[in-house]
Every structure is written in structure tokens, then in C-alpha cells.
Structure 1
Amino acid sequence: MDKPVIILGAKGIAHAALEIFNSNQVIVYGFLDEDEKLHGTEINVVPILGHPEDEGFLKLIGKKCEAFVAVDDNKYRQFLVKMLNDTRKVQPINAIHETSYVSTDAAIGHGNFLNAKVNIGAGSKIGSHCILNTGAIVDHQVQIGDFVQIGAGAIINAGVVIEKGAFIGSGAVIVSGVTIGKDARIGAGSVVISDVKEDQTVFGNPAAPFKK
């Protein structure tokens, strides 16, 4: 990649994203974050320049710089992606750790975060703007929608469908053929053996709906 990267967000996965770009010999120009207390500080000598909606920095994106959205909060992540699409006419780039594996037969969208030792199997389709944390395993023929988050060490078995905005906790196991509905949440360490409805929260082994 010839152009340097501006990372939107300076918390959560931002530090890990910097490490990923460094490992791939991609220059990070700086961070943009809404927390004004961070402005003027640095992460590993890379400066936090200002606010993500500062036009002075945004105008660099698409011309002199690429962009990556390093924000864990899904609503704000979606807002920033839409802002980049609408105002700069660009899609965020992927941040893929050098130790992760993406099958040559897999398809992956834009703006995804794949941390160390993530494994994407043959025939799987990953949407855009997803977060796959360290050691997550996505087996073959899995379909993952946009803005999905998968925790460290989670195992997504063959043929699973995960719809837009779903959250899979660390160490969770999703058995083959299950569908996880839009914006559903799977608790850490859960074993999911049947379909999960849209907006539903489940946890446990076997996973059951959370009752308030």
C-alpha cells in the first residue's frame, strides 16, 4: 500500500490496528478521536491529531491517505463509515494481521479488523466493517454480515450464518448450520446449538435466551 493510513478512533482496537499496520509496513499518519483529552498525545509515537469529524484532516482521506475505522461501538462505527462514504466517497481499508489466515477461496469486504491468528476458511464470505479478535476461527462456508463482532477464541463452525450487527462473545462456539439473527448477542463462552432470533441475547451451555 502506497498511501499512509489515518485511524479513526484511538481507544479499543485502535492500538492493535496500529500494530497490524506496522507489521505490514504500512505507515500510520495519525489517529482521530472524539475525546479531546487525547488530542496532542501519542500511541507508540503516532500522534492523536484531532476529532474524527475535523474537515481539515478528513480532506486528506482519499487523496493522500487511506482510512481505517477503529471503533468498537457499533453505532458510532456505522456513523463514521457512512460519513467517509458520503463526504469522502471512500471505503475504509482492511486491517489484517500478518499471522491471520484468509483462504484463497474466501471473500472479504472493506474495513474489517482481523487480529493475530484469525482463521477464515474456504468458501466463507465476510461482510464489511467486522471485528474479528485474536484467534477467532471461521470455518468453511460461513456467511457473516456487515458490522459483526467476534470475540477472541470464538469458533464459528461450517455453514453458520451471522447477520448484520451481531455480537459473538469471546470463546463462544457456534455449531454448524446455525443462524444468528441481526443484532443478536452471544455471551462469552456460550455454546449455541440452535438458531438465535434477531435482537435476542443468549448465553450458557447450551445457550438459552437471557431473561431480565
Structure 2
Amino acid sequence: MDNPVIIFGAGGLGKASLEIFQANQVIVYCFLDDDKRLHGQEIAEIGIMGSTDDHGYTKFIGKKCDAFVALDEQNLRKGVFKMLNDRRKVMPINAIHPKAIISGHAYISYGLFANAGVVIGSFAKVGIGCILHSNAVIDYEAELGNYVQVGAGSIIHAGAKIEDEVFIGAGVTIAGPLEVGKGARIGAGSVVVENVKKGATVFGNPAKEV
């Protein structure tokens, strides 16, 4: 990775992404964020220069800069991915902490955020735009769809299949080769022992729909 990076989003996820890139000796050019109150401020001496659609900066992406999307609100995240793909003909790069462990036989797509302690096992698959917080484990042959967020310390057991846009809170266990349907939400600390249907919200040990 030779190009400097523009980070979309100057919140907590953006700050964590900055740390990852700096730990990997990657230059961060600037932040872009739609909160105009932040414009002109700095995070660890990196400026917040404008909004996420500021052509004065986005025009460099795919030429002189790469992009990373550090927005955890799903619709905003998907919107920036689409903009980068449609206008700039690029996809965001990955931000992978040097203390993450990713099998050489795993498949990861674009725009992945993987913080310290993340483990992605052999022949696991991780789709576009996933967010894996600290110490999340995606065990061997598990599959994550696109835009899945997995909270800190959560464990996705081997062979589980998590469909697109699922939110998994911190400390969750998906206990076996189960299926979690598109858009489902799993509350923090839950233990999932049966399939979760599309769009459902579940919580508890064992997890039940609420």
C-alpha cells in the first residue's frame, strides 16, 4: 500500500482506523466528515478537511490516494461505498490491525475494519464493508455477508453463516454452524443456539426474539 489514505468518518471508528494505518506505516492524508462542526479540527495532527462528498478531496481517490470508510451507521457506510464505486471506480481498502490474525486461506473482501486481536480462521469468508471489533473471532469456514458488524469479544463458531447487514453486539456467541438472516440484530452478551430469521432482534442466553 503506497498511497496515502483519506478516512471517511472522524468519530471513534475513524480514530481507531487512524491508529491501525499508522501502526502499519501508512500515511493518512486527512479525514472527511459530514459534521461541519468538526471541519478544521485535527485528530492526532491529521486534519478534518471537509465533508464526505467534497470533490476537492475525493477527486484524488483512485489517483493519488486510497480511501477507507470509518462510518459505523450502516446506510451512511453503504452510501459512501456506492459513491466511491460509482464516481471514482474504486473500492475502499482494508484497515487490519497488525495484531489481528487472518488465515492465509481465509477470503476477505474490500473495506474491512479488523481491530487488534481479531481472528479470521481458515477458509472463513468475510464480505464487503464488515466491521470486526477487538478480539472478535470468525472461526474456520464461517461466512459473513456484506456490511456485517461484529462486536468486541464475539465468537462466530465454525461453519456459521451470517447474512448481509447483520449487527452482532459485544460478547455474543454464535454457538455452532447456525444461520443468521439478513438485517438481524443480536444483543450484547447473547448466546445464539438456533437459527435467527431475517430482520429479527434477539437477546439473552439462550437468545430469544424480542
Q: List structure 1 runs of 4+ shifted beyond 2 angstroms.
A: none
Q: Report the aligned-residue RMSD.
A: 0.4
Is the 1:12–1:72 contact (alpha carbons within 8 Å) kept by the matching residues of 2? no
The one-character-per-residue Cα deviations of 1:70-119 (angstroms, maximum 9, x if unpaired) are 00100110001000000000000000000000001100000010000100
Matched residue, 1:75: 75
Matched residue, 1:124: 124
Q: Hey, what's the Cα distance between the residues in 1 that align with 2:38 and 2:108?
A: 32
Letter in 1 for 2:92: P
Deviation at 1:128, TM superposition (A): 1.0
Identity %: 54
Listed as ranges, the gaps of 5+ residues in structure 2 are none
Q: Hey, what's the Cα distance between the residues in 2 that align with 1:208 and 1:61?
A: 44
Matched residue, 1:29: 29
Deviation at 1:12, TM superposition (A): 2.7
The reply on whether 1:144 has 2:144 as its aligned counterpart is yes
Matched residue, 1:56: 56
Is the 1:202–1:208 contact (alpha carbons within 8 Å) kept by the matching residues of 2? yes
Q: Hey, what's the Cα distance between the residues in 2 that align with 1:105 and 1:88?
A: 30
The reply on whether 1:173 has 2:162 as its aligned counterpart is no
Q: TM-score, normalised by structure 1?
A: 0.98
Q: TM-score, normalised by structure 2?
A: 0.99
Q: Hey, what's the Cα distance between the residues in 2 that align with 1:100 and 1:172?
A: 19
Q: Hey, what's the Cα distance between the residues in 2 that align with 1:137 and 1:52?
A: 31
Q: Secondary structure at the match of 2:76?
A: helix
Q: Hey, what's the Cα distance between the residues in 2 that align with 1:14 and 1:181?
A: 28
Q: What is the aligned length?
A: 210
The one-character-per-residue Cα deviations of 1:56-80 (angstroms, maximum 9, x if unpaired) are 1110100000000000100110001
The one-character-per-residue Cα deviations of 1:102-153 (angstroms, maximum 9, x if unpaired) are 0011000000100001000001010010000000011100010000000000
Q: Hey, what's the Cα distance between the residues in 2 that align with 1:73 and 1:12?
A: 12
Q: Hey, what's the Cα distance between the residues in 2 that align with 1:96 and 1:196?
A: 29
Listed as ranges, the gaps of 5+ residues in structure 1 are none
Matched residue, 2:201: 201
